[in-house]
């Protein structure tokens, strides 16, 4: 095993974290666009600069989304190769790694340390092969299942609170406020909040998280089923391929959500699932 000048595991984590930061910036740009528009509507002010500000925020959101997708694609590519290396012993070729590093900024490359030792990323200590691969899929899918479910709850909660809160505010003010101008302003605020939920794609995000939750659960159950039999590498590779395709199209899980649940999920896996 030849030590690499840049640790591919840390490079993968850096790219996925970068993708999440650009994704967050995209959400902020979309939220700012709706809020700025709501302020202009509330104050009945149409500045000559408002169309340019709206255009700038729209282009900013699209640029951030493009950068997020680009970083996620590179991160997911490295993650697949790292999982195959850990499971089957397939080394990442220097040509493959150099292609990724060629697309990496100098600033980010300088932050990636050399590969001094390969950390035990998965709990399985089986020798490389189909059994280790299936146990790795089982562990990864179990983590993905629970993290996706938690994110689905968060986005569903945010959507529900925003929608119900806006409707209740509108109902209460209609029954108590007599000033027409105030009612018009509140109606505009409610419209802006509902537009914000739609612009951020909270409903679509919720559905995507729960969809990936089900897909990860199926991968976990399929891996457990295959472990009962002496299956070959072909079945394990096929399941790995399907699982990583589902991961690639799934929405991102923010780093802080992963950190909140990391210790608890690690403890539960080691106590009840690791063999």
Residue 200 has what pLDDT?
Answer: 66
Q: How many CB atoms lie within 10 A of CB 102?
A: 8
The two structure tokens encoding residue 106: 């100098």
- Give me the torsion for CA of 158, 160, 166, 167, rounded to 10°: 180
Six token digits for residue 98? 């150099």
Angle at CA of residue 55, ends 49 and 59, nearest 5° = 145
Q: Which residue has the tokens 């999920």?
A: 265
φ/ψ (deg, to 5) at 92:
-80, 120
Q: Which helix (H) or strand (E) holds 123?
A: none
pLDDT of residue 64: 95
Q: How far is CA 233 from CA 16, 131, 174, 240, in A?
A: 28, 8, 66, 10
Could you state, in order of their start, the residue ranges of all structural domains in the chain? 1-114, 129-275
Retrieve residue 182's tokens. 């105030």
> What is the spatial distance between Cα 249 and Cα 212, in angstroms, rounded to a whole number?
9
Q: Using CA atoms, how far apart are residues 41 and 190, in angstroms rounded to an integer?
A: 12
Q: What is the pLDDT along the chain (275 residues), one digit of tens a residue?
A: 566 788 999 999 999 999 999 999 998 888 887 777 666 666 655 556 667 777 888 899 899 999 999 999 999 999 999 999 999 999 888 898 999 999 899 999 999 988 877 667 888 888 999 999 999 999 999 999 999 999 999 999 988 877 777 677 666 666 665 555 655 666 666 666 666 666 667 788 999 999 999 999 999 999 999 998 878 889 999 999 999 999 999 999 999 999 999 999 988 888 888 76
pLDDT for res 160: 84
DSSP secondary structure letter of residue 269: I
What pLDDT, on a 0 to 100 scale, did the predictor assign at position 38? 66
Residue with tokens 């012993």: 89
Sequence-distant (≥ 6) Cβ neighbours of residue 200 within 8 angstroms:
27, 30, 31
pLDDT of residue 169: 66
Q: Give the total residue count for the chain.
A: 275
Tokens of 257: 């959500």
Asked if 261 and 146 touch (Cβ cutoff 8 Å), the reply is: yes
Q: How far is the CA of 67 from the CAs of 18, 76, 99, 176, 247, in angstroms?
A: 9, 14, 18, 47, 18
**CB-based contact 252:20 (threshold 8 Å):** yes
Q: Which residues contact 237 (CB under 8 A, 6 or more apart)?
A: 88, 133
Look at residue 84 in the predicted model and tell me its pLDDT.
94
């Amino acid at each position: 095993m030849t030590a690499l000048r840049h640790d591919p595991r840390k490079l993968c984590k850096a790219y996925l974290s970068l993708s999440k930061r650009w994704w967050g910036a995209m959400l902020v740009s979309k939220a700012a666009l709706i809020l700025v528009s709501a302020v202009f509507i509330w104050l009945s002010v149409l500045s000559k600069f408002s169309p340019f500000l709206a255009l700038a925020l729209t282009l900013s959101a699209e640029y951030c989304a493009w950068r997020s997708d680009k970083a996620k694609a590179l991160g997911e590519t490295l993650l697949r190769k790292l999982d195959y290396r850990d499971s089957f012993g397939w080394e990442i070729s220097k040509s493959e790694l150099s292609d990724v590093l060629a697309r990496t900024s100098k600033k980010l490359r300088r932050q990636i340390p050399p590969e001094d030792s390969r950390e035990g990323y998965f709990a399985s200590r089986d020798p490389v092969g189909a059994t280790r691969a299936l146990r790795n899929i089982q562990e990864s899918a179990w983590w993905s299942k629970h993290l996706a479910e938690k994110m689905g709850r968060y986005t569903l909660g945010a959507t529900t609170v925003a929608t119900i809160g806006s409707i209740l505010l509108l109902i209460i003010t209609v029954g108590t406020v007599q000033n027409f101008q105030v009612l018009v302003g509140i109606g505009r605020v409610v419209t802006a909040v509902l537009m914000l939920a739609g612009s951020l794609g909270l409903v679509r995000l919720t559905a995507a998280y729960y969809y990936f939750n089900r897909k990860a659960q199926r991968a976990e159950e399929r891996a457990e089923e295959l472990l009962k039999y002496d299956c070959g590498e072909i079945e394990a590779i096929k399941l790995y391929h399907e699982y990583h395709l589902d991961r690639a199209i799934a929405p991102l899980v923010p780093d802080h959500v992963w950190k909140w649940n990391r210790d608890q999920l690690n403890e539960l896996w080691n106590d009840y699932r690791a063999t």
